[in-house]
Structure 1
Amino acid sequence: MKKLRLAVAVIAAAALCPFMAKAQIDLGAKAGLSIPNLTSGSSSNPINSGWSSRLGLDAGIHAEFHLTKRFSIQPEIRYSSQGGKKDGNQGFAPTPEMAGAFQQMGQPVPPYLYATYKSEAKFNYLMVPVLAKYHFGFSPKWDLYVAAGPFVSFLLNGKNETSGTSQIFADDAHKQPLPFPAVDFTRDQDIKNDLKKANFGISGHVGLAYHLNGRSAIFIEGGGNYGFVKIQKDAKNGENNTGAGVVVLGYSYRIKNK
């Protein structure tokens, strides 16, 4: 399957090369806000659920190859913030000390315990989308466009930051307190090795550009991305997909005219 995908990519690139060689080319840079969250289709693992959006940076560079007046291909390299946050009741796997306490009491170690604290998962990726872009071009100065296409991404780092002190409970409803002292959850964990190193998915946006002159333009884009891969290596740590809404401002300059 990998060889087939590689062959398709090579054939597609070879087919496009003659068109790209004759194309007008714009180079651009953009930066703005990423609003990521973690999603899951399964609720059996309490670590999967309860995530809400956090804020992060999205920035990148691109080359746009204008194949026709309306249609272009735009490969990009982007720094993409992903992750999510929780604030309140949440499940977690028992620590070795807690597991030892259960064993000393002659009780089975539960897969998850519950407490009230804050956590924020921060994942940063190098994302490489290849977008097909359609320009509506409703005036000489203004250009409305849409773009969409696949991406691959590579994990740069992954951290889980937690804070707060809480009593520990055996149940999600907090009706079964455990005979443990309150736990301070304040810590900063590097969890990069618990995450898969690569992802792939789909990215897209709607944009509006204003042409300053014959070669340069400023633009604003709003869109998002979604990863198809469950990012955790071990399902006990969750089974989540990455995704983010993105708003960016940018500048482009035409380096080659036909």
Structure 2
Amino acid sequence: MKKAIVCLVFTFTFFSLYTVDAQTFTLGLRGGISIPNLTAGSNNRNPLNTGYSSRLGPDFGLFGEFRLSKLFSIQPMLEYSSQGGKKNGLQAITTPDELAQMFQPGPAPAYLYANYKSEAKLNYLLIPVLAKFGWNFNKSPVRFYADAGPFAGFLLSAHQVTSGQSEFYTDPAGTQPLPGGPQSFNANTDVKSSLHTFNVGLEANIGFNYQLGQSSIFIEGGGNFGFMNIQKYAKDGKNNTGAAVATIGYSYRFGK
């Protein structure tokens, strides 16, 4: 299924490149800020996959635009996209094996709690193919546009970065500490092996383009959302990626 989706995306891109007059080709670069978050699925929610807030990261891309008419064009793109989320404060962790022994002979709780900072830094290569509609303001060089389309996403890297010191607690309110005192949470852990490396989703943007001869500058805002659960293991719950994005860019039109 995954291979079929990728083939469809690339087939659609190739068809667009093959059928459009080369005189309408525009090449561009864009870069800006990604404001991603991780949302928990409606099923299999637990203290590990909930409670995320937005983080900040870079977003940049290279695109080609193939204009089919004055109003409509196709825009495939290669996009580096920061995804993930962060938690600050008291949060759940899976009970470590060395601490589970403290509860013997009774069963250990599934989760313990600690007060620290945690950030999931996920970086993807997105390959969107966008249908783009644009309108000029009379004879003004200013053009408004909106685009939307599917993307295939490939996970490049994934790290869980934690910092701070805290005691371990047996309750989510942090009122029942375990003996042993504060422990360090300073770590940078590669978690790519626990995540699916492929995703599909939808991207959409709106923006304003200012034409300077065959060159253009633009400002754009939009977002993306991944449809597939990124977690491999049921114990980690279910999460979807997604981000709001704000970018500026430059493009150059070849030919007329």
TM-score by length of 1: 0.91
Q: CA deviation at 1:182?
A: 2.3
Structure 1 7/127 Cα, relative in aligned 2: closer, same or farther at 3 Å?
A: closer
Which residue pairs with 2:47 in the alignment? Answer: 46
Which residue pairs with 2:204 in the alignment? Answer: 204
CA distance in 1, matches of 2:128, 2:155: 15
User: Which structure 2 residues correspond to residues 183-222 of structure 1 after superposition, within 5 A?
Assistant: 183-213=183-213, 215-222=214-221
CA distance in 2, matches of 1:65, 1:180: 64
The answer on whether the counterparts of 1:23 and 1:67 sit within 8 Å (CA) in structure 2 is no
Q: How many residues align?
A: 254
Which residue pairs with 1:116 in the alignment? Answer: 115
CA distance in 1, matches of 2:147, 2:49: 31
Q: CA deviation at 1:252?
A: 0.3
Which residue pairs with 1:77 in the alignment? Answer: 78
The one-letter code of the counterpart of 1:37 is N
Structure 1 11/227 Cα, relative in aligned 2: closer, same or farther at 3 Å?
A: closer
Q: Helix, strand or coil: the match of 2:231?
A: coil
User: Which structure 2 residues correspond to residues 3-152 of structure 1 after superposition, within 5 A?
Assistant: 5=5, 12=12, 16=16, 19-21=19-21, 24-42=24-42, 44-102=45-103, 105-139=104-138, 140-152=140-152
Q: CA deviation at 1:114?
A: 0.9
TM-align CA RMSD? 2.1
Identity among equivalent pairs (%) = 48
CA distance in 2, matches of 1:7, 1:161: 35
Structure 1 167/6 Cα, relative in aligned 2: closer, same or farther at 3 Å?
A: closer
The answer on whether the counterparts of 2:222 and 2:246 sit within 8 Å (CA) in structure 1 is yes
Which residue pairs with 2:175 in the alignment? Answer: 175
Structure 1 18/82 Cα, relative in aligned 2: closer, same or farther at 3 Å?
A: closer
CA distance in 1, matches of 2:117, 2:3: 44
- The runs of 5 or more residues in structure 2 that have no matched partner are none
The one-letter code of the counterpart of 1:30 is R
The answer on whether the counterparts of 1:82 and 1:244 sit within 8 Å (CA) in structure 2 is yes
Q: Helix, strand or coil: the match of 1:101?
A: helix
- The runs of 5 or more residues in structure 1 that have no matched partner are none
TM-score by length of 2: 0.92
Deviations 1:117-167 (A, max 9, x none): 110110001110000000021243000000000001111110011111112
CA distance in 2, matches of 1:29, 1:6: 23
The one-letter code of the counterpart of 2:202 is I
